[in-house]
Amino acid sequence: MGAASVPSHLSGTPAPGTRAGFARPTGSPDPSGDTANPPAPGPTPSSANPANPTNPEIPASPPRPGASPASASAPVPPGADGKLGPGEPGFGRMRLALFAAGLSTFTLLYSTQAMLPEISRGLGATPGAASWTVSGATIGLALAVIPLSALSERFGRRRLLTVSLAVAVALALLIPLAPDLGTLIALRTAQGAAIAGVPASAMAYLADEVRGRHLVSAVGLFVAGNSVGGMSGRILAGWVTQLWGWRAALLAVALTALLCAVAFRLLAPAPRNFRATALSARGTARTVAGHLSNPLLLRLYVIGALFMTVFGAVYTVVGYRLTSEPFGLSQGLAGSIFAIYLVGTFVSTAAGRLHARLGRRGVLYLGIGTVSGGLLLSLADHLLAVIGGLVLITAGFFAGHCVASGAVSGTAREGRAQASGLYQMAYYTGSSLGGALGALAFAGAGWAATVGLALAAMVLAGGVTLYATRQAATARPRTSPAAAPTPARG
């Protein structure tokens, strides 16, 4: 759950006829959120997507660059535009710096998830109570990502990244000393809010400093840091917990994140293209309200939240199931189950091809069906069946998340940064609710209850997608070929 998605609008310079942070639409969406002739805007510092992946977080296929024909036929000489590209001083450092930032961030965000059974035993907490050490962090991130994205526009991307990582690591060094569960949850919630500064500004930092045609490769390494951090943090925590206890594991995670944060600060080149803008709470609120009144975006937010509810529930509780009978795995082996996250890397690379073949709703139906099949398979009291179920759940989740997150920027007509920020809020709220409710269900009636909760979320996601399909089918006959607008040329 610690992966970020590549924003579909990070593709070059602003298209003619646009103003900073807003793009002129080149196509119109159908009622499902699909777009015909998807827009190909380019970013400015104020329009870059603050999303971060998760989560897990994994790039969707980017759209074609939005550069004009003139700019395409006359490439800018290296360094002439003040931006970075391969072979130029600072480009390699920039990519490595953002990899380190992603690694640090997602090592911390879900650090307690693999050790929840030991936290329950050590602090005398129920699974539902202990799960708030994960849910608290994701709630903090969800609430802080939009305000911090606004601060990055005023005070600078690198500065906000540095401060966010410093505060998150400082809290990580304090967290192992928490005397009780309440203090631990409070510190983790504050840490999540600090971590939000990374997804809120990392993509914009890259968009400011890296030349458009090389941006995807730079973002890809940041996303790789997210994925590797999310997986390795859980595996490291699981094995250190088995050897020396959960407090030592949290300290090991904190020290790992500290090294990554220092590497980021030493490697990150000074910004050359950032232009500060005045803070406007009223303007931000107006844009956010507009997005929340858009039914297409609302459906995408709901779908993203429901997929993440399942993912949060399953991976918060699975450690309890695997360390108890009939499996009885050690804490280290149970933590190693998070290596299944690597499935998400492969699925994300195929998501673009699946979308081209099946369409957006087709991929969503496929993801919902795959997750549901995995949930049912995981009910078997056989380790290989559980692992197979987790592989299907992970693959289906990443397919659905890639499509939903990639659709947000294509659906929003202005304020794409805020639109993506709202998706992140919904996404991490789903993670928080899934973790908390899944743990309560497990404590009350075992794994089957957690699976029932997750299946209910998938039924709702299927209902939302089916509604979009029917809306699209109803809308199509109303537009005759004669009345259809003529596609723009060029």
Rounded to an integer, the average pLDDT of 283-289 is 84
- Count H helices and E strands in the chain, helices first: 17, 0
CA distance 39 to 23: 8
CA dihedral 215, 216, 221, 226 (to 10 degrees): 110
- In 272-315, the DSSP E strands lie at none
Q: Has residue 16 got a pLDDT over 50?
A: no
- Would you list the DSSP string of 421-460? HHHHHHHHHHHHHHHHHHHHHHHHH-HHHHHHHHHHHHHH
Q: How many CB atoms lie within 10 A of CB 353?
A: 10
* Most confident listed range (286-290, 311-315, 345-349, 421-425): 311-315
Peptide bond before 271: cis, by omega within 30 degrees of 0? no
Which is higher by pLDDT, 25 or 198?
198
Token digits of residue 224:
């790789």
Peptide bond before 55: cis, by omega within 30 degrees of 0? yes
Q: Note whether 319 and 114 are within 8 A (CB).
A: yes
Q: How many CB atoms lie within 10 A of CB 273?
A: 15
- Say what the pLDDT of residue 54 is: 38
Give kind and range of the element (H or E) at residue 477.
none
Could you tell me the pLDDT band of residue 72, with boundaries at 50, 70 and 90?
very low
User: What are φ and ψ of residue 35, in 5° steps?
Assistant: -120, 140
Which is higher by pLDDT, 262 or 352?
262
pTM: 0.71
Sign of CA dihedral 442, 445, 451, 453: negative
Q: How many CB atoms lie within 10 A of CB 69?
A: 8
Q: Has residue 348 got a pLDDT over 70?
A: no
Token digits of residue 172:
């990580």
Q: Find, among 306, 357, 364, the residue nearest to 32 by Cα.
A: 364
Query: How many CA atoms lie within 13 Å of 367's alpha carbon, on the beta-carbon side?
Result: 37
Per cent of the chain over pLDDT 70 is 73
- Would you list the DSSP string of 32-55? TS-BSS-------TTTS-----TB
CA distances from 283 to 6, 147, 173, 246, 275 (A): 25, 13, 38, 45, 18
pLDDT in tens, 175-197: 999 999 999 999 999 999 999 98
* Most confident listed range (29-38, 69-78, 459-468): 459-468
Could you tell me the pLDDT band of residue 9, with boundaries at 50, 70 and 90?
very low
CA distance 105 to 257: 7
Q: Find, among 457, 488, 453, 445, the residue nearest to 127 by Cα.
A: 445
Which is higher by pLDDT, 18 or 445?
445
Q: Note whether 386 and 322 are within 8 A (CB).
A: yes
User: What are φ and ψ of residue 385, in 5° steps?
Assistant: -65, -40
Could you tell me the pLDDT band of residue 43, with boundaries at 50, 70 and 90?
very low
Q: Note whether 149 and 287 are within 8 A (CB).
A: no
Q: How far apart are the first and last CA of the chain?
A: 40
DSSP state of 478: G
Q: Has residue 259 got a pLDDT over 80?
A: yes
Q: Has residue 18 got a pLDDT over 50?
A: no
- Say what the pLDDT of residue 11 is: 39
Rounded to an integer, the average pLDDT of 396-410 is 79
Rounded to an integer, the average pLDDT of 342-371 is 82
Average pLDDT along the chain: 78
Q: Find, among 293, 288, 287, 303, the residue nearest to 406 by Cα.
A: 303
Q: Has residue 15 got a pLDDT over 80?
A: no
pLDDT in tens, 197-242: 887 777 777 777 776 665 555 655 565 666 677 788 888 888 999 8
CA distance 227 to 72: 33
Token digits of residue 327:
């499996």
Rounded to an integer, the average pLDDT of 79-99 is 73
Q: How many CB atoms lie within 10 A of CB 469?
A: 18
